[in-house]
Amino acid sequence: MTPGADEPSLKNNNRRASKVQIRTLGVALLGLIFLLAYFFVQLWPSDLSQSSLGNEKQKVCTLFFIGCFEVSLDARVLMLVMVSGGLGSFVHTAKSFGDFVGNDKLMSSWMWWYILKPFIGMILAIVLYLVIRGGFLSIGNDARSLNLYSVTAMACMSGMFAKQATDKLSEVFDSLFKTSRDFGDAKRKDNLDNPIPTIVDIQPPRLTPQTRHLMLNGAGFLKSSAVRFNGASRETQFIGDNQLAVDVLADDVAKEGVLSITVFNPWPGGGLSNALSITVAGADESLTNNPNLPTGAQDDYRDGCDGVIESKTSDKDLPPSTGGVAS
């Protein structure tokens, strides 16, 4: 059954983050940056101006000085790298949060992304730091010889540009440890890459000025699929893997012509489907060639001179006949 005109919009409204979720996440991000900045200052060596990073051990105090503990130089640098990665990741997270909230497009399904992003930045910063300290880049293994500014800057940038960093690492290791396309993840039935969609047919097969919905049948459809009319996206409702419903705007059928219908699946994988063309019929043609009318009913909308009947009047409503033909 063709969905109502307001169903896709209502579905998107239900997915939007509530005011409580937005406020909670905003407060959590403010608290996170306060903690990260505090520990960054706590972990930074106090005598960096000297030739070495400082004493072998340094006292680090928790928030509000509830408890203090001593850490070695290597442990202090490792913790500083983690905090730096979190700071860099916070920049990306806070910017994204502000952009989407400001445009009223923050979806509740993205909440866990905002929660996990700083921790992803921390772990990625540690990985890159260990790669450097492990000898992939020759800078020496003595912690006292490290340039702390360079290390923390690297950690911050890896957190800020986590996607680019992970993509580059993936590219490097895909080249180093390349496997056959028939092995590894390629054998998984639940492949993480989105498929390229395929459109088989469109119902109804013609558009009229009265048409407000289309049903697309095919394969490879997703909840995130977007139907496009001549390259412009339209409100799309996911019915199933083989079916999508899409709203038709009044502007789409305002004049006769041909529309190119495609479906786009987002990254990862995904892509643009094959294109199917659909004709937009004019007002007169829509009355006589409406595929939704019963077979043979089209003739009821034409008079004896093949003119289109704009409206039908029953015999009883006709005015009485007067006059006639003289015999």
Beta strand extents in 46-187 (DSSP E only): 57-61, 68-72
Is there a single domain that holds both residue 214 and residue 143? no
Is there a single domain that holds both residue 172 and residue 215? no
pLDDT in tens, the chain (327 residues): 344 444 444 445 567 888 899 999 999 999 999 888 888 888 887 655 443 444 456 666 666 656 677 777 778 888 888 898 888 888 888 888 988 898 888 888 888 888 888 888 888 888 888 877 776 544 455 555 667 777 788 888 877 777 777 777 677 677 766 666 555 555 555 556 789 999 999 999 999 989 999 999 999 999 989 999 999 999 999 999 999 999 999 899 988 999 999 999 988 788 999 999 999 987 555 444 555 454 444 444 444 454 445 455 566 666 665 655 554
Is there a single domain that holds both residue 23 and residue 163? yes
**What pLDDT is recorded for position 89?**
87
- What is the value of pTM for the model shown? 0.47
**What pLDDT is recorded for position 268?**
79
Q: In this structure, is residue 182 part of a structural domain? A: no
Is there a single domain that holds both residue 11 and residue 131? yes
Among 177, 212, 240, identify where a domain stops.
177
Is there a single domain that holds both residue 136 and residue 210? no
Is there a single domain that holds both residue 60 and residue 165? yes
Is there a single domain that holds both residue 202 and residue 271? yes
Domain that holds residue 121: 7-177
d(CA 32, CA 210): 53
Is there a single domain that holds both residue 85 and residue 19? yes
Is there a single domain that holds both residue 172 and residue 245? no
Q: In this structure, is residue 316 part of a structural domain? A: no
Which tokens hold the place of 244?
């999508």
Q: Which position has the token pair 């496997």?
A: 179
**What pLDDT is recorded for position 5?**
43
Number of other residues whose CB lies within 10 A of the CB of residue 17: 21
Do residues 97 and 25 lie in contact, with contact meaning Cβ atoms separated by under 8 Å? yes
CATH of residue 249: 2.60.40.10
- Is residue 320 reached through a cis peptide bond, with omega within 30 degrees of 0 on the bond before it? no
Q: How many domains does the chain have?
A: 2
Is there a single domain that holds both residue 263 and residue 128? no
**What pLDDT is recorded for position 1?**
39
**Residue 225: closest CA among 278, 192, 253, 267:** 267
